């Protein structure tokens, strides 16, 4: 496993962001693990998370002109990642949206830099793709080009309800619908590989996670 990805999974577990047990997902599934980026809620952890985003983007070789963070989690992620990128010698502008359009002051629903050029969307996960869809619309409406999405964790599971599961994951559907790549810092395979070599406390969750991937995972 790529060392950066392994470090990210370990970091998420130690920060309590990646947890194991029984959790109900947006799709109504009972998942043996849960990733909540909202738990990166203090300065040191957020700074380290931003470093993972920045290093993943730099390593990808992806060309982009600015970052866009969809409200609400994307706001913090885009801001922090812009700082981390600048520290690494890649100073890029960023912006984010308001949930409601402001009708006074500068007005509008976009805060920060003007949307222009190749815009990279940054978020935590992609569940149904709704956030990406809304972001793409706002970016295109401004005359800019959405060029890619970067997320923290790719769950690599088929989208839809159990009775009508898609053959593709939400990430794959975003790639297909918008013709742009989705880059993740880590994914479900990385998670399984990590807990396979972890301590007994984490190892006991391996069977449940593997069974979940067997049932819902994409090929």
Which active-site residues does the annotation give? Answer: 102, 104
Q: How big is the chain by its Cα radius of gyration, in Å?
A: 18
Cα atoms in the 13 Å half-sphere on the side-chain side of 69:
22
Report the 10 Å Cβ neighbour count for 133: 13
User: What angle (nearest 5°) sits at the alpha carbon of residue 119, between those of residues 117 and 120?
Assistant: 155
Tokens of 12: 């998420």
Contact at 8 Å (CB) between 138 and 20?
A: no
């Amino acid at each position: 496993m790529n060392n950066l990805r392994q470090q990210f999974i370990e970091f998420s577990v130690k920060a309590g962001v990646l947890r194991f047990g029984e959790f109900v997902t947006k799709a109504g599934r009972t998942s043996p693990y849960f990733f909540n980026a909202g738990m990166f809620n203090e300065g040191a952890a957020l700074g380290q998370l931003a470093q993972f985003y920045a290093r993943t983007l730099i390593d990808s070789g992806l060309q982009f002109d600015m970052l866009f963070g969809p409200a609400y989690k994307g706001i913090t992620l885009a801001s922090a990642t812009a700082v981390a990128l600048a520290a690494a010698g890649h100073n890029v502008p960023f912006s984010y949206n308001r949930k409601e359009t402001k009708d006074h002051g500068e007005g509008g629903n976009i805060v920060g830099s003007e949307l222009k050029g190749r815009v990279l969307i940054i978020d935590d996960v992609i569940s149904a793709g709704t956030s990406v869809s809304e972001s793409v619309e706002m970016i295109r409406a401004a005359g800019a080009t959405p060029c890619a999405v970067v997320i923290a964790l790719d769950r690599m599971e088929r989208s839809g309800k159990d009775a009508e599961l898609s053959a593709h994951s939400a990430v794959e559907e975003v790639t297909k619908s918008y013709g742009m790549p989705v880059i993740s810092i880590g994914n479900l395979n990385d998670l399984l590989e990590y807990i396979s070599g972890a301590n007994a406390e984490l190892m006991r969750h391996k069977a449940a996670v593997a069974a979940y991937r067997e049932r819902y995972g994409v090929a």
